[in-house]
């Protein structure tokens, strides 16, 4: 009986500890859509981007954001799909850790990413990069970039030359 009580106590203590820690929980799109083609097909906006700046909180926003940054800006280096253009600056909401949205710190400025995004947000809304969207750093994106450059960029160029 003492052994059962001890096991139960450890189990309940662990359960309380785990349940009080906020965490993002989602299934990564790369686990479901296992090829660049499939991921591209289900995503409204796809682009190669560079992180150029982070913006600090200026008011008493009650929501926790990583290091006090509330937004970040990225430049579109190559638009593969969606209502965006090369060279366009996009403003994103900074994640807070448990909200399943990407978050950055100062050392990340200048880094490049292949992002899989939703549709262009309404005029007064911000872009978001969901943690499980399939978005990855440029260093991890070789297969995707090869596919996109070979298949998508070529089709876009052909379409433009016909007009």
Q: What's CA 162's distance to the chain center, in Å?
A: 34
Asked if residue 145 lies in contact with residue 48, where contact means CB atoms within 8 angstroms, the answer is: yes
Tell me the C-alpha distance between 86 and 160, whole Å: 14
Spatial CB neighbours of 61, under 8 Å, sequence gap ≥ 6: 70
- Beta-carbon neighbour count of residue 50 at 10 Å? 15
pLDDT digits (tens, 9 = 90+) for 89-148: 999 999 876 788 999 999 999 999 999 999 999 988 999 999 999 999 999 999 999 999
Task: Give the pair of three-digit tokens for residue 47.
Answer: 């682009």
Asked if residue 27 lies in contact with residue 132, where contact means CB atoms within 8 angstroms, the answer is: yes
**Domains of the chain listed by start with CATH number:** 26-162 (2.40.50.120)
**In the chain, how many H helices and how many E strands?**
5, 5
pLDDT digits (tens, 9 = 90+) for 33-70: 889 999 999 999 999 999 999 998 777 665 667 788 88
Residue with tokens 């009580």: 5
């Amino acid at each position: 009986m003492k052994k059962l009580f001890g096991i139960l106590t450890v189990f309940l203590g662990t359960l309380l500890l785990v349940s009080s820690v906020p965490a993002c929980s989602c299934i990564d799109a790369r686990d479901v859509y296992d090829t660049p083609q499939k991921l591209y097909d289900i995503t409204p906006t796809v682009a190669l981007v560079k992180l150029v700046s982070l913006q600090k909180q200026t008011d008493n926003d009650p929501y926790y954001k990583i290091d006090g940054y509330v937004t970040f800006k990225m430049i579109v280096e190559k638009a593969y799909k969606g209502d965006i253009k090369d060279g366009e600056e996009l403003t994103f909401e900074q994640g807070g850790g448990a909200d399943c949205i990407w978050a950055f710190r100062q050392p990340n400025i200048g880094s490049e990413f292949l992002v899989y995004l939703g549709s262009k947000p309404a005029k007064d809304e911000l872009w978001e990069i969901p943690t499980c969207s399939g978005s990855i750093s440029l260093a991890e994106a070789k297969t995707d970039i090869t596919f996109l450059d070979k298949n998508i960029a070529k089709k876009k160029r052909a379409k433009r030359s016909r007009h």
